[in-house]
Amino acid sequence: MIAIEFRKLHHLKIAPMVLGMLFLLCLFNIGSFGASRIKDLAAELSGIGMIQAFLVPILIATITTRIVEIEHSGGGWRSFSLIGAPPGTLCRTKFAILTIILIPFTLVEILVPLAFYLSAGGTNFKASAWVSYILCVIIMNLLTCMVHIILAHRYDNQLVSIGVGTLGAFIAMFSFLLPKYITRFIPWAYYSLILPATASSETHSLVYTNPGILTYLCFTTLTILIAGGFYYHTTQLNKGES
């Protein structure tokens, strides 16, 4: 099934979309560093986090919707059920495909600019902050992917999933301005909560921070709820076809 899904990606021309966005994100991050007089990597991490929060949810919503919508328009749900692959299994396969895409995408999107920053004289590099952010944002992107697979399966209209993704991106950006006791209850806000860099009122600059144990506990809870919900939903879909 995975081989079939990859052929669908080729037909839908997903690769040019992903590579084009990846190129633009890397170019933007590298360009912003070159234009800045301050070569502080805490500030660059903050910039990457904001771009991630605004653009990547929309990209995930668009790609996920496209690869799920083809099953609606082409009768794929029924066709795959006839050969022993019910809708729940097909949704899980699509998630596996998107995982193969999103993990390298996220790594390249962050590590290529970081390598440039370091080679161009960037200062204040804190490996633990960058590593923790990369791990958390990969998980966040995969959770977002699960949500949009369910939405795209449930609603034939692509605009529903893409609309939710766009709204989520704006919420994620707005959440940078909200206090944590509010944003911990907003799923998209975790794009800002997991970012270990913020503006300091004392130094009036961007500095590394620790998101805190409570934030990580809430993020773990969110991960369990969404992953569990995805597993339950796909299991119910399979039972409905049995």
Give pTM, 2 decimals.
0.92
Mean of the pLDDT values across residues 161-165? 95
206: tokens are 């961007």
Q: 82-101, pLDDT tens digit by residue?
A: 777 899 999 999 999 999 99
Range of the domain at 196: 2-241
Task: Taking each helix axis as running N to C, give the angle between helix 41-74 and helix 158-174, from 0 to 180 degrees, rounded to the nearest 10.
Answer: 170
CB-based contacts of 74: which residues, under 8 Å, 6+ apart?
none
Alpha helices in 83-126 (DSSP H): 87-119
How many distinct structural domains can be found in the chain? 1
For residue 189, the tally of other CB atoms under 10 A from its CB is 22
Q: 43-79, pLDDT tens digit by residue?
A: 889 989 998 999 999 999 999 999 998 888 878 778 8
Q: 131-142, pLDDT tens digit by residue?
A: 999 999 999 999
Q: 179-228, pLDDT tens digit by residue?
A: 988 999 999 999 999 999 987 766 667 889 999 999 999 999 999 999 99
Tell me which of 115 and 80 has the higher pLDDT: 115
Q: Is the pLDDT of residue 34 over 60?
A: no
For residue 53, the tally of other CB atoms under 10 A from its CB is 27
- Three-state secondary structure call for residue 183: helix
Tell me which of 12 and 128 has the higher pLDDT: 128
Tell me which of 242 and 213 has the higher pLDDT: 213
Please state, in angstroms and rounded to a whole number, the distance separating the CA atoms of residues 53 and 192: 7
Q: What is the mean pLDDT of the chain?
A: 89
